[in-house]
Amino acid sequence: MSPKITTELLKQLRQVMKNPKYVQEPIQAYIVPSGDAHQSEYIAPCDCRRAFISGFDGSAGTAIITEQHAAMWTDGRYFLQAAHQMDNNWTLMKMGLKDTPTQEDWLVSVLPECSKVGVDPFIIPADQWKRMSKALRSAGHDLVPVKENLIDTIWTDCPQRPCKPLITLDLSYTGVSWRDKIVALRSKMAERKVMWFVVTALDEVAWLFNLRGSDVEYNPVFFAYAVIGMNTIRLFIDGDRMMDPAVREHLQLDSTLEPEFKIQVMPYGSILSELQAVGAGLSPKEKVWLSDKASYALTEAIPKAYRYLTPYTPICIAKAVKNAAETEGMRRAHIKDAVALCELFNWLEKEVPKGTVTEIIAADKAEEFRSQQKDFVELSFATISSTGPNGAIIHYKPVPETNRTLSVNEIYLLDSGAQYKDGTTDVTRTMHFGTPSAYEKECFTYVLKGHIAVSAAIFPNGTKGHLLDSFARSALWDCGLDYLHGTGHGVGSFLNVHEGPCGISYKTFADEPLEAGMIVSDEPGYYEDGSFGIRIENVVLVIPAETKYNFKNRGSLTFEPLTLVPIQTKMIDVNLLTEKECTWVNEYHQKCREVVGAELERQGRHEALRWLLRETEPLARVQ
Amino acid sequence: MSPKITTELLKQLRQVMKNPKYVQEPIQAYIVPSGDAHQSEYIAPCDCRRAFISGFDGSAGTAIITEQHAAMWTDGRYFLQAAHQMDNNWTLMKMGLKDTPTQEDWLVSVLPECSKVGVDPFIIPADQWKRMSKALRSAGHDLVPVKENLIDTIWTDCPQRPCKPLITLDLSYTGVSWRDKIVALRSKMAERKVMWFVVTALDEVAWLFNLRGSDVEYNPVFFAYAVIGMNTIRLFIDGDRMMDPAVREHLQLDSTLEPEFKIQVMPYGSILSELQAVGAGLSPKEKVWLSDKASYALTEAIPKAYRYLTPYTPICIAKAVKNAAETEGMRRAHIKDAVALCELFNWLEKEVPKGTVTEIIAADKAEEFRSQQKDFVELSFATISSTGPNGAIIHYKPVPETNRTLSVNEIYLLDSGAQYKDGTTDVTRTMHFGTPSAYEKECFTYVLKGHIAVSAAIFPNGTKGHLLDSFARSALWDCGLDYLHGTGHGVGSFLNVHEGPCGISYKTFADEPLEAGMIVSDEPGYYEDGSFGIRIENVVLVIPAETKYNFKNRGSLTFEPLTLVPIQTKMIDVNLLTEKECTWVNEYHQKCREVVGAELERQGRHEALRWLLRETEPLARVQ
């Protein structure tokens, strides 16, 4: 992978930073955040401005360009990737390490006195604006909104904003109609005494209206905003997608409806002026609810006294707790996904020794097997198909320059998932197609112990996910090993593979308590730079637990794995497992056999079934 | 324990809340925080305003009195105690439970429109003021400072502010002179580009000047503030204690010194006007460093643009990492403390069956044995001597009304500690002097497993204590049991028994990473309301750990118990322990034997020595 040469681009950017056509006064620094106007994690090509200016295309990172410097903040998942993709113009700021300055501190240390720092107000979340603005102000600088995005002014071949057709989801998939979701939302609004709610996150718009799209790769969302009043519904969306009879029928656009359920469709670009009109027409005590991560531009449209900002919106919280229809859909999706992976691993086992399978071929084959399954829509993220040293690049994606051939001498790590109409999957398995070394097995077994410790954890109702993070690390810590990423993230139901408000991470303290029906990933790992990567990931459902004393009737929770793909027993050093852990693996594999075995049988995939049976032989502990 | 009758007091308070002598306009609510003007956890009798108005005298709690209501917020340690001590005028707000409103939310729900809420600006920390003020303002109310403390106006027999003699500590105790501490502090100030540092916490003043006092029971501190400039040192302190030749010599008040080490002694009450003078004389860029927990009154003395506020001060952080002299002192103190407890438990074992030992007698006896030890100063907190159901009151203190007789049929919980000139101790042991039930042993063993899980934990450098909290709960959680308090707190070195900035608690996310030399407690528990309480507490020192792979040279940490008191093996269900846990107990007891045994021998305490040897017989696991 050779880095992107950015010398000329940075020169151009520094010129527009002083160009009165775009800025009232010259700015001494320009911030390029990761997201789009909806603060999405995964973004459309037209929104990949940070990747355009720097070359670094990981899913998280903020670039800041000053007259002298260009710096990139990203987290442990991307240290190696960012270092590879950026040229010498850039300084990598490794977030999470002790000596790494924050963006604010760094700016203060490099800026000349009384500097102006610019940012696109539609891209920067209001909470980040506030923090950054305060820190800069207290050092004598100013954060200023720059209306025209400066990257766009130098990005001559910027792609168009996508505007793809919509998919309507009926009750069998969603469990609840959009009307009932609006009713529930309005009741939450009434509880908090707010009159308006502004839906800015793309997955929240999609979830609310039981619609899906494909404007952003891997994320079945579409560019839209919504503004929900107590008696009005406004949907801001472009293109002729609202002409589709199925969509019109689904949203009842042509029906005679009670006025409070009549959806007014408006152009996507009119959100700011419409919201400003809402803001101007508020009477005292009429509050407007926004996420504190909504863009600074939209937040400013509402006068400060009328804003009601929360870190998580009521939609985010409702969306996280899956209902019976969604849970059943997720189960079905994961069984189909397991069928595809059994096929893949059976195929790899035969093909890898021939030396003809590259990371890209393996990823494509995984997609091919998945696409054979019912209701398959697309992948849920770029497949991480990585062998040997590439496995240590935590969010690696094989490209021709890095594409490595799988062999019987290296560990292979596959982190992949798909969008099915009934659910979203995300699974990581780490395999060896030859004979793993004792050290590789040792590391794999510690990771497995961490995975089991989380998956089998029992905890009282009301526990936040971050309190479980250390369980995943304990076995690694005992030997002086660790991994620089969180242990789990929320997973959407035919929606974004990463969603809030819950997760399992030492970094997140604002997560909402885990509740039965929430779905998260459990994915500890271990990475040895330049050698190999190990990760074991299941998607797990939060379910009630049965305990001897039941927390004085407070109730307890545990996890049920939805992912049902064998964990390679060849990689396990059985003697490092406790009896309980050994039983967990055997019971998990027994369930894979029963559930996925039956589906393989039904689909007539006999060779993959034989592979499954071989891979799920019970472990025997030496006593 | 009968509740305090507060009807008349509340009536009087509500009158002064409308009295123009004290308030410009009538206030509709008055907040009575827990602390004093230094935000101390433990306070002098003259500062016990919340206890005076409500009857509830636990160490944490905030009272709010409106025209109609009186409500008390406290945490899980005090739910039972507060319920017992308060009459029907009061509503108990159980913090940490899901449905308990915050103070702000509750005020907004009960106040008439456009209310004024009053508070003593010297008592409320600036960060709380800010949060409360913002929440009230956004609901149309106002938080207003009330100069005269309204409780004091109705507290006719309020005791005087104490002003006791000081103790000077030489280098053999402190390891570092006050001059060197000032030099280190100024270098931290230079790093952050601040010109002034205001010392508001009593233990920080004491630590900085290597002085101790006894103005507050259990906490060897004295009422004082300090303001440190780059070239000046001002100490605000009252009384003739500065006339003591030993103190004058220690502070070199009469020596010819470089001007930057010359201490100016000023009256305690002049801090506000002096600080206002400092604030008025600042030139641009001259910042003043304050804790964000300093009082609103002192914080307001510095114009906003000149304030530099941090959650932890450089003194708080420096003080937490004990140097070799302090660590050695803490070790010595804990050995002496163990000698006293061996004597006590040996005595209890003989006396309890006679039915003549009450909780108070046992507590007094513990103090008697401790006071026989060298350099004993006082207790480090009110002894929690509790048997049977009293043990479930987490911060119980025996009083004649509740005083229960120890018996061979009930669990006895003793949480106690002392101040020695060389260190501070805090230890909890849970004992049965008859035959514990299988259920009691089961619960005890889960608590012990949690204690060991923390004590033996290995974790990478840079880990924050709160990430270890769940380790202490895992064994309890598995059976549906939990406890409603944190697992550990920082411990001072001949200073406050509770100190920041580190700890082990699910509630603390702003804790500083653990470092070698820090000292915390490890004290999981289990409480069965109306029946018994179990807690096992050691004070532990953070030390470097040796691991197989050493976190890629990031280094690793673990704990070394400083407390060396036997854990009653009779209470342990050995079959619930893993082999590793069993070995931990045996090795711990072996160390108690060696270290404390030698000291018992040296002090000629042969009977207690025999008790120690009996109690530290190795556990044998049934295989």
Instruction: Flag whether A160 is in a domain.
Output: no
Strand order from edge to edge, sheet including B376-379: B376-379, B418-420, B423-424
Of A153, A185, A211, the last residue of a domain is: A153
pLDDT of the residue at A234: 98
> Which residues pair with residue B588 across a beta bridge?
none
Q: Please state the rounded mean pLDDT for residues A164-178.
A: 97
Is the pLDDT at A434 greater than 90, yes or no? Answer: yes
User: What gap in Å lies between CA B347 and CA B342, rounded to an integer?
Assistant: 8
Grade residue B72 by pLDDT with cuts at 50, 70 and 90.
Answer: very high
Of B319, B347, B379, the last residue of a domain is: B319
Is the pLDDT at B251 greater than 90, yes or no? Answer: yes
Same domain, yes or no: A252 and A377: no
Give me the number of domains chain B comprises.
Answer: 3
pLDDT of the residue at B96: 85
Q: Which of B380, B299, B271, B300 is nearest to B334 (CA)?
A: B380
Same domain, yes or no: A436 and A326: yes
pLDDT of the residue at A284: 82
Please report the sign of the dihedral spanned by the C-alpha atoms of residue B564, residue B570, residue B571, residue B574.
positive
pLDDT of the residue at A623: 53
pLDDT digits (tens, 9 = 90+) for A237-265: 998 899 999 999 999 999 999 999 999 99
Q: Strands, E, within A454-518: which ranges?
A: 459-460, 488-490, 499-504
3-state SS string over B378-429? EECCCCEEEEHHHHHCCCCCCCCCCCCECCCCCEEEEEECEEECCEECCEEE
Is the pLDDT at B507 greater than 90, yes or no? Answer: no
Is the pLDDT at B390 greater than 90, yes or no? Answer: yes
pLDDT of the residue at B98: 80
Contact between chains at B556 and A470 (C-beta distance less than 8 A): no
Of A251, A284, A319, the last residue of a domain is: A319
Is the pLDDT at B622 greater than 70, yes or no? Answer: no
Q: Please state the rounded mean pLDDT for residues B252-261.
A: 94
Which of helix, strand or coil describes residue A459?
strand
pLDDT of the residue at B1: 62
Q: Please state the rounded mean pLDDT for residues A571-583.
A: 97
Is the pLDDT at B260 greater than 70, yes or no? Answer: yes
pLDDT of the residue at B171: 97
- What's the residue count for chain B? 623
Same domain, yes or no: B313 and B391: no
Contact between chains at A477 and B467 (C-beta distance less than 8 A): no
- What is the 8-class DSSP label of residue B594? I
Same domain, yes or no: A314 and A359: no
Is the pLDDT at B623 greater than 60, yes or no? Answer: no
Q: Which of B437, B360, B364, B344 is nearest to B405 (CA)?
A: B360
Instruction: Flag whether A622 is in a domain.
Output: no
- What's the residue count for chain A? 623
Grade residue A588 by pLDDT with cuts at 50, 70 and 90.
Answer: very high
Q: Percentage of residues in chain B with pLDDT exceeding 90?
A: 91
- The residue of chain B with its CA nearest to that of A458 is B478
Same domain, yes or no: B459 and B488: yes
- Domain range for A525 is 321-615
Minimal C-alpha gap between A463 and chain B (Å): 10
Contact between chains at A467 and B462 (C-beta distance less than 8 A): no
Distances (CA, A) of A416 to A451, A485, B470: 17, 17, 31
Q: Per mean pLDDT, which range of A320-324, A450-454, B79-83 is the poorest?
A: B79-83
Residues of B in contact with A471 (CB under 8 A): 470, 474
pLDDT digits (tens, 9 = 90+) for A365-414: 999 999 999 999 999 999 999 999 999 998 889 999 899 999 999 999 99
Q: Domain holding B403: CATH number?
A: 3.90.230.10
Grade residue B239 by pLDDT with cuts at 50, 70 and 90.
Answer: confident
Q: Percentage of residues in chain B with pLDDT exceeding 70?
A: 99
H-type alpha helices, A301-357: 314-320, 324-351
- The residue of chain B with its CA nearest to that of A482 is B551
Interface test with B, best of A114, A478, A534 (most B CBs within 10 A): A478
Same domain, yes or no: A511 and A571: yes
Instruction: Flag whether A431 is in a domain.
Output: yes
- How many Cβ pairs within 8 Å bridge chains A and B? 73
**Amino acid in the structure at residue A200:** T
Instruction: Flag whether B620 is in a domain.
Output: no
Is the pLDDT at A64 greater than 80, yes or no? Answer: yes
| pLDDT, averaged across chain B | 96
Of the two residues B542 and A508, the one the predictor is more confident about is: B542
Identify the residue whose tokens are 């929690």: B384
Task: Determine phi and psi for A199, rounding to 5 degrees.
Answer: -95, 115
Instruction: Flag whether A590 is in a domain.
Output: yes
Instruction: Flag whether A621 is in a domain.
Output: no
Same domain, yes or no: A105 and A238: no
- The residue of chain B with its CA nearest to that of A457 is B478
Same domain, yes or no: A171 and A89: no
Q: Which residues of B touch A (CB under 8 A)?
A: 98, 138, 305, 457-460, 462, 467-471, 473-474, 477-482, 506, 509, 547-551, 554, 556, 578
User: CB of B473 within 8 A of CB of B491?
Assistant: no
pLDDT of the residue at A1: 62
A159 upstream amide cis, omega within 30 of 0: no
Residues 6+ apart with CB under 8 A from A362: A344, A348, A385, A406, A412, A414
Same domain, yes or no: A81 and A145: yes
Q: Please state the rounded mean pLDDT for residues B33-46.
A: 93
pLDDT digits (tens, 9 = 90+) for A547-556: 999 888 889 9
Q: Per mean pLDDT, which range of A291-300, B9-18, B381-390, B507-516 is the poorest?
A: B507-516
Q: Please state the rounded mean pLDDT for residues B578-585.
A: 96
Q: Which of B540, B537, B500 is nearest to B517 (CA)?
A: B540
- Comparing CB atoms, the residue among A460, A480, A482 nearest residue B477 is A460
Which of helix, strand or coil describes residue B308?
strand
Same domain, yes or no: A11 and A95: yes
Q: Percentage of residues in chain A with pLDDT exceeding 90?
A: 91
pLDDT digits (tens, 9 = 90+) for B165-183: 999 999 999 999 999 999 9
DSSP conformation letters of B72-109: EEE-GGGHHHHHHHB-TT-EEEETTSTTPPPHHHHHHH
> Which residues pair with residue B358 across a beta bridge?
B405
Distances (CA, A) of B416 to A120, A453, A538, B339, B367: 59, 35, 46, 14, 9
Same domain, yes or no: A409 and A357: yes
Instruction: Flag whether B388 is in a domain.
Output: yes
User: CB of B308 within 8 A of CB of B194?
Assistant: yes
- Comparing CB atoms, the residue among B458, B480, B547 nearest residue A556 is B480
Is the pLDDT at B509 greater than 90, yes or no? Answer: no
Grade residue B364 by pLDDT with cuts at 50, 70 and 90.
Answer: very high
Is the pLDDT at A320 greater than 80, yes or no? Answer: yes
- Comparing CB atoms, the residue among B98, B471, B479 nearest residue A470 is B471
Same domain, yes or no: B95 and B203: no
Instruction: Flag whether A537 is in a domain.
Output: yes
pLDDT of the residue at B146: 97
Q: Domain holding A308: CATH number?
A: 3.40.350.10
User: CB of B614 within 8 A of CB of B593?
Assistant: no
